[in-house]
Structure 1
Amino acid sequence: MNPASIHQMWDRLTGTQPDPSHWLVGATALLALAAVLSRATWRVTRNAVTIAHEGGHGLIALLTGRRLDGIRLHSDTSGLTVSRGKPHGPGMVLTAAAGYTAPPLLGLAGAALLSAGHITALLWGATALLLIMLVMIRNAYGVLTVVIACALFLAVSWLTSAQVQAAFAYLAVWFLLVGGARPVTELQRGRHRDRTGSSDADQLGRLTHTPAGLWILLFYAIALCSLVAGARWLLPR
């Protein structure tokens, strides 16, 4: 790759793109809401939330000095991230708390980028994160899921028009923002059916000697605050 091409790519990455039309922003928000509320589509689209959830566990585990052994994504849209280190302390607490907070916070970060016009940076950044995560996937379904997601982001960013890129970027961010609370609702319902105490909230309760319900409330609060703040950035003024 010659210097001119590198310079052109850098300009494209750091530059800004025109704001999409108001109808596109509204339409992608409605599509994201439908994808979250519909049981039929949620069974498929929830895989994206699982990627963000387990990626959040893995990223914070690494940032807090834990050893990340691997990540598994399953066909029932569940996942598992295995890390080694102290079984208690701030690093373990942050790692356990990162799962349910990662999707809405990633959506909020994406909304900040889009509000500043950095559509290309969002698409390429998401592709880079997926490629990094791919290295840590330890099962075939997980590899397939992440490869498909990565290929989709890459194809949209390189092969489609600016309008399609904007629509895809806004749809992805809206989906993370709108869909941030539904997994928490599923967690709350699942705890009533499964008394094994293996959920993230139960684990956090044991680590911090606090009620697990308090952590569920925190997850809800982060999802709601992210949605409100993200919507203020995304919706036309």
Structure 2
Amino acid sequence: MDVLLDIWQRMTTPHPALEPLTAWLTVTAAALIVLFPPLWRLARHGITIVHEGGHGVVAVLSGRRLGGIRLHSDTSGLTVSRGRPTGPGMIFTLLAGYPAAALLGLGAAWLLGRGYDVGLLWVLLLLLALLLVQIRNWFGLWSVAVTGTVVFGVSWFGSPQVQGVFALLVTLVLLFGSLRTSLELQQSRSRRSGSSSDADQLARLTHIPGIFWVTVFIAVQLVCVALSARLLGFVQI
């Protein structure tokens, strides 16, 4: 009980905002992580976790039965759900993947804007725990477990400054990384036809070209980035 009370107190105690220089250096670090290929290959595993989690959450909310999630070492993933192969449920499930990281980043920015750095980290831990029970392969289990261990370590042992920087870094990587995955999606689509990507599956279901759906993904992500910048105090509107 004492441990739970300690966790609750940590979650609900707001931290002061980071110094502007520290915050902007964190923005620079997040941009480097997303733009520098060796770092991006590692960070992209986190984006894939959120991507597949987005598919899973919307599948359940739309009445489909979630069959499991697989995460692969090449940063790809697969979410299996059972239900009608067509119709709104399948469309919304496919739509959910690429915007998921940006939407989670927006929610994270909302919490950070109110000073709940540790609260954000524990929310992420809860989401990872819920996802873990749906993972159906060893690499996926390892990937989620390692991610959760890192988040827990910072939330429990890190100083307030370290927690604040880490929480902001995760938020920004989610936002920037989400955009990069959509740009990579379109590059991949332009190199080969007959793709099984989310955008192409949506095109086959709706008879609306895949480029439209990629544009929708990017539009949602850009809105999330703009709103997050406002919530985090990087821009004044």
Q: Distance in 2 between matches of 1:157 and 1:224?
A: 29
Q: Could you report, residue by residue, the CA deviation over 1:186-208 in whole angstroms, capped at 9, with x for unpaired residues?
A: 11111122322311001111222
Partner of residue 185, structure 1: 183
Alignment partner of 1:168 is 2:169: no
Partner of residue 63, structure 1: 61
Partner of residue 141, structure 1: 139
Q: Could you tell me which of 90, 102, 105 is aligned with 1:104?
A: 102
Shift of 1:96: 0.3
Give me the identity figure in percent: 47
Q: How many residues align?
A: 235
Scaled by the length of structure 2, the TM-score of the pair is: 0.95
Q: Distance in 1 between matches of 2:225 and 2:20?
A: 18
Q: Could you tell me which of 45, 48, 71 is aligned with 1:47?
A: 45
Shift of 1:113: 0.6
Q: Distance in 1 between matches of 2:158 and 2:4?
A: 20
Q: Which amino acid aligns with 1:115?
A: G
Alignment partner of 1:29 is 2:50: no
Shift of 1:28: 1.0
Partner of residue 211, structure 2: 213
Secondary structure at the aligned position of 1:71 is classed as strand
Q: Distance in 2 between matches of 1:103 and 1:59?
A: 13
Q: Which amino acid aligns with 1:95?
A: T
Q: Which amino acid aligns with 1:70?
A: G
Shift of 1:8: 4.1
Scaled by the length of structure 1, the TM-score of the pair is: 0.95
CA RMSD of aligned residues (A): 1.3
Shift of 1:31: 0.5
Shift of 1:224: 1.1
Q: Which amino acid aligns with 1:170?
A: L
Q: Could you report, residue by residue, the CA deviation over 1:6-40 in whole angstroms, capped at 9, with x for unpaired residues?
A: 44432332332221211221111110100111112
Shift of 1:133: 0.5
Q: Distance in 1 between matches of 2:33 and 2:7?
A: 33
Q: Which amino acid aligns with 1:161?
A: S
